[in-house]
Amino acid sequence: MLTIYGVYCSRASRNYWMAEELGLPFQSVPVIQARLLADPLATEARLNTRSPSFLAVNPMGLIPAIEDDGLVLTESLANNLYLARKHGGPLAGADVREEGEITGWTLWAATEVEPYTVKIVLTYDNAAENTPDGKAVIAASVKGLERPLARLEAHLQSQDYLVGDRFTVADLNLAEVLRYAMSETELFDRHPRVKSWLARCHARPAFEAMMAGRRKEAAAA
């Protein structure tokens, strides 16, 4: 059985969404971020990214990680590429060309988009969005996203999804990276095709199942 290490309110959300899309049974091990605990190494501390038992899974001390038939992978977007390749179906590439496109969009999400979106979400997580420094970080990040979103807007002019005109793991990966910036509504209003594409991705039942997991987790915190 697939095991996903990490809480829903983390990058592990990407892997939970993917598992739901594929209809995979999975075990969730709710590893929390150590930065959220006063003393992550305390005896009574919740399982976290500095816990020795988790470091035995991922020595980098980051979530998520997955374990599948003895294989451990520790990069959230690559985890999804692996699951798509293993289980096939419409989320995977239909041929080597589509595989290349899916990989390309996923790496683009990680290198050209996430460096900006993660700064936005962390600013909100730290309740700093209304401080002078926080506003500056958000403004700079939004400015940095204009060029990538312009490219995505143009790509979506003639198709509804990134690859093969159907929802694939590339859409899932990029949508999860962009979700970190959705607080900046004016940014997406300036890119209406991107906004509509995100709405299509988020209308999927598997996305709602993942978000239900996030809400349940938040309510129990």
Percent of the chain past pLDDT 90, that is, above it, reads 98
Indicate where the chain has its CATH 3.40.30.10 domain(s).
2-87
Segment 15-33 mean pLDDT: 97
Per residue in 100-113, pLDDT (tens digit) is: 999 999 999 999 99
Give the pLDDT of residue 95: 97
Least confidently predicted of 43-47, 78-82, 187-191 = 43-47
71's tokens: 């294989």
Grade residue 221 by pLDDT with cuts at 50, 70 and 90: confident
Percent of the chain past pLDDT 70, that is, above it, reads 100
Indicate where the chain has its CATH 1.20.1050.10 domain(s).
96-206
8 A C-beta contact, residue 84 and residue 91: yes
The CATH architecture one would assign to domain 2-87 is 3-Layer(aba) Sandwich (3.40)
Measured CA to CA in angstroms, residue 160 lies from 99, 163, 197 at distances of 18, 9, 7
Give the pLDDT of residue 163: 98
C-alpha dihedral, 189 to 192 to 194 to 199, nearest 10°: 90
126's tokens: 């730290």
Give the pLDDT of residue 187: 98
- Look at residues 183, 122, 119, 174 and name the one whose alpha carbon lies nearest to residue 149: 174
127's tokens: 């309740």
Q: How far apart are CA 48 and CA 122, in angstroms?
A: 19
Give the pLDDT of residue 114: 98
Give the helix/strand (H/E) hosting 106.
Answer: helix 96-108
Average pLDDT, the chain: 97
* 96-206: CATH, from 3.40.50.1820, 3.40.50.1950, 1.10.1760.20, 1.20.1050.10: 1.20.1050.10
Residue with tokens 């989320």: 91
Give the pLDDT of residue 220: 83
Give the pLDDT of residue 89: 97
Segment 185-189 mean pLDDT: 98
Give the pLDDT of residue 181: 98
Measured CA to CA in angstroms, residue 142 lies from 11, 26, 182, 207 at distances of 21, 36, 11, 25
Q: Give the predicted TM-score (pTM) of the model.
A: 0.96
202's tokens: 């988020």
